[in-house]
């Protein structure tokens, strides 16, 4: 995506010297990924570590914080500290999912049918107790819609672009909680892609090319 596309989609303020982002065809947890945040009514795009590190943590969590279940956000200490003022949107062109029996799993790429980016709801945190000023994030997941049940028992919360402002601005409340639901079935499509995506070191354009017909 170009800066012009990002600005139009999320009303991002570009840097002084705007330049196009370098594509990442195989983004993975622990890597730095661009996320959209809002401060004093202005949105910006910044890189954060994928895998939330709470503000109170004195070491990197020994448990997975790449995803956060929507059902437990208000109860779990790892997440609830970010709910009120540290919500974010993570734009992806698509994501990978695996399905099938052990040893014969197939890789699929999930995208929007209309080609628009997937705007995933997330939380972020700031931590200065471990390694300087560490900013990190997690992607919120929910129960799958009828489409995603064919691939997995969870799916990321994919926001409607018109709800981005509601998600980012203001304190936590029921109105934001109601956004944490499966997206409409009609939004998504998926097709098999190369299992080379299973290795993070592989990062090339052909990884996103389908090698078979869409399954829905």
Check the CA dihedral 74-63-97-123 and report its sign.
positive
Between strands 155-156 and 32-39, the pairing is unpaired
Rounded-to-integer distance, Cα 54 and Cα 74, Å: 14
CA neighbor of 139 nearest in space, from 82, 55, 62: 82
Distance separating alpha carbons of residues 184 and 117, to the nearest angstrom: 15
SS3 at position 186: helix
Task: Please state the domain extents for the chain.
Answer: 3-15+25-93+115-183
Q: pTM of the entire structure?
A: 0.94
Tell me which H or E stretch contains 3: helix 3-10
CA 3, CA 193: separation in Å to the nearest integer? 28
Element holding 32 (H helix, E strand): strand 32-39
Per-residue pLDDT, averaged over 103-121, amounts to: 94
89, two tokens: 């949107």
Query: Percent of the chain scored above 90 by pLDDT?
Result: 80
Q: How confident is the model at residue 215 (pLDDT cuts 50, 70, 90)?
A: confident
3 state DSSP class of 78: helix
User: Under a CB-based contact definition with an 8 Å cutoff, are residues 47 and 15 in contact?
Assistant: no
Residue 14, pLDDT > 80, answer: no
- CATH class for the domain made up of 3-15+25-93+115-183: alpha beta
Average pLDDT, the chain: 92
């Amino acid at each position: 995506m170009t800066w012009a596309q990002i600005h139009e989609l999320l009303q991002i303020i570009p840097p002084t010297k705007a330049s196009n982002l370098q594509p990442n065809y195989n983004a993975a947890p622990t890597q730095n990924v661009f996320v959209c945040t809002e401060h004093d009514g202005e949105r910006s795009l910044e890189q954060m570590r994928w895998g939330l590190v709470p503000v109170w943590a004195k070491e990197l969590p020994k448990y997975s914080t790449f995803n956060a279940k929507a059902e437990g956000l208000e109860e779990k200490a790892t997440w609830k500290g970010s709910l009120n003022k540290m919500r974010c949107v993570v734009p992806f062109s698509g994501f990978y999912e695996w399905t099938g029996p052990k040893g014969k799993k197939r890789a699929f790429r999930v995208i929007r049918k209309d080609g628009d980016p997937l705007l995933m709801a997330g939380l972020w945190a700031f931590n200065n107790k471990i390694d300087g000023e560490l900013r990190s994030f997690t992607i919120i997941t929910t129960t799958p819609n009828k489409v995603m049940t064919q691939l997995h028992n969870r799916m990321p919360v994919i926001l409607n672009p018109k709800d981005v402002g509601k998600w980012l601005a203001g304190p936590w409340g029921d109105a934001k909680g109601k956004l944490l639901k499966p997206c409409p079935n009609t939004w998504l499509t998926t097709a098999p892609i190369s299992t080379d995506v299973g290795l993070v070191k592989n990062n090339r354009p052909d990884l996103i090319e389908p090698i078979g017909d869409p399954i829905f």
